[in-house]
Amino acid sequence: MAVVNPNDLKVGDTIRFKVMNPHDNIVWTGKIKSVCDYDIARQYEDIDTIYQDVQREIRTLCAKETLRYRLLRVQENDTTISTRVFALDWIDKSTLELVEENTYTDFRVFDIDENKAEDLRKAITAMGYVVSIV
């Protein structure tokens, strides 16, 4: 996970960060679904209240109508998936990370003993893949 420049973020990236809001101490993780303006963002959340909270921390914050917002699909409480809105200017840049997503492919090999399964694992590992037997 690498700290990234917020301006390099694009739709489809998964990011982790904290916002500069005294009422929000959550470490957010989510996938960027789109970039939008104030009129669209406020259809998803009460942008005005969040903006006021962040403005207490960042006195030089631009007008909320001129900010560019990111819609993120986030998972809250390990179960609820929702769309949340964040302006790049609200993000604590020192906490912003690009989350590398791993891709998994499952193979099932039937009627094989433990020794042959271990031989297969070694052969696949030798080709540069990370493998585990479950």
How confident is the model over 66-113, as pLDDT tens digits? 999 999 998 766 667 889 999 999 999 889 998 876 667 777 888 899
Of all residues in the chain, the percent with pLDDT exceeding 70 is 93
The candidate with the shortest Cα–Cα distance to 28, out of 90, 106, 121, is 90
- Domain ranges for the chain: 2-98, 103-134
Q: What three-state secondary structure class fits 94?
A: helix
3: pLDDT strictly greater than 80: no
Model pLDDT, residue 79:
66
Strands 97-98 and 80-87: unpaired
65 close to 38: Cβ distance less than 8 angstroms:
yes
Give tens-digit pLDDT for 31-40.
999 999 999 9
- Enter the DSSP assignment of 118: H
Q: SS3 of 44, please?
A: coil
pLDDT at 81: 80
Phi, psi of 103 (to 5 degrees): -110, 130
Task: Report, as an integer, the average pLDDT of 41-70.
Answer: 91
